[in-house]
């Protein structure tokens, strides 16, 4: 499977495991899981043939580790980023002192004024390192990285979660906890 097909397949899976499973006749359980066999059959019925080996490759090689298999390998789900109702069953965690959020340069002023909101997703996504935040921000134009005072947020009672792929999740980030990262 070439890189273009891996990316195309990853985007297709993200659409249907995060946002619109019903478009291909797929049903997710309350935690966002579905049987791998059901996913592959739904894809095939909708003209997107993916073998189990190709699915394994996409899950393993996805740079953001967007997808996870169950321990026995029979079920799959998106790790985070859902716009549909799911309960990822994540336990609260203590975050590192500083987390990062990558965005496009055009969004910085409103974010610094109003904070980060989850919008149509379940949580605001935060990165543990600047490099990852830069990659995320680059999807939205010239990347800018914001530093989040996660320690102060945590002490103020905000609850953090960490998804299976290492993304930190929180309901919102108020402006008082945001600043431009040192490199910006």
Residue 171: which CATH number?
A: 3.20.170.30
Asked if 74 and 98 sit in the same domain, the reply is no
Domain end: 78, 102, 135, which one?
Answer: 78
Q: Which one of 17, 48, 78 terminates a domain?
A: 78
Rounded to whole angstroms, how far apart are CA atoms 30 and 138?
Answer: 32
Which DSSP string do the residues of 25-67 spell out, in sequence order? T----TTS-EEHHHHHHHHHHTT----HHHHHHHHHH-TT--E
pLDDT of residue 183: 55
Pair 67, 11 in one domain = yes
Question: Both 74 and 108 in a single domain?
Answer: no
Let me know if residue 150 belongs to a domain: yes
For residues 124 and 97, membership in a common domain is answered with yes
pLDDT at 77: 92
Count how many domains the chain has: 2
| Dihedral sign from CA coordinates of 166, 170, 173, 176 | negative
Residues listed for the chain: 184
Domain contains 84? no
Domain boundary among 78, 102, 118: 78
The pLDDT assigned to 112 comes to 95
Residue 38: is it exposed, middle or buried by C-beta count within 10 angstroms (0-12/13-18/19+)?
middle
Q: What is the pLDDT at residue 20?
A: 94
98 and 173 share one domain: yes
The boundaries of the domain holding residue 63 are 3-78
Helix (H, G, I), strand (E, B) or coil at 155: helix
What are 78's two structure tokens? 């998106």
Per residue of the chain (184 residues), what is the pLDDT tens digit? 778 888 899 999 999 999 999 999 999 998 899 999 999 999 999 999 999 999 999 998 876 778 999 999 999 999 877 777 777 778 899 999 999 999 999 999 999 999 999 877 778 999 999 999 998 888 888 999 999 999 999 999 999 999 877 889 999 999 999 999 975 4
**Within a domain: 87:** no
Which residues have CB under 8 Å from 53's CB, separation 6+? Answer: none
- Using a cut of 0.75, tell me whether the model's pTM lies above it: no
């Amino acid at each position: 499977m070439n890189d273009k097909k891996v990316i195309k397949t990853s985007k297709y899976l993200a659409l249907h495991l995060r946002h619109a499973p019903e478009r291909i006749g797929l049903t997710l359980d309350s935690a966002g899981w579905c049987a791998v066999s059901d996913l592959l059959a739904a894809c095939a019925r909708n003209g997107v043939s993916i073998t189990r080996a190709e699915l394994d490759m996409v899950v393993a090689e996805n740079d953001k580790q967007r997808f996870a298999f169950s321990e026995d390998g029979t079920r799959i789900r998106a790790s985070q980023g859902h716009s549909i109702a799911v309960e990822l069953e994540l336990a609260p965690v203590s975050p590192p002192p500083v987390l990062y959020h990558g965005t496009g340069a055009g969004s910085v002023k409103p974010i610094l004024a109003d904070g980060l909101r989850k919008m149509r997703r379940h949580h605001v996504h935060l990165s543990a390192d600047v490099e990852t935040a830069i990659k995320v921000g680059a999807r939205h134009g010239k990347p800018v990285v914001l530093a989040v005072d996660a320690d102060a947020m945590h002490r103020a009672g905000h609850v953090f979660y960490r998804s299976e792929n290492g993304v930190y999740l929180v309901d919102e980030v108020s402006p008082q906890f945001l600043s431009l990262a040192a490199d910006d």
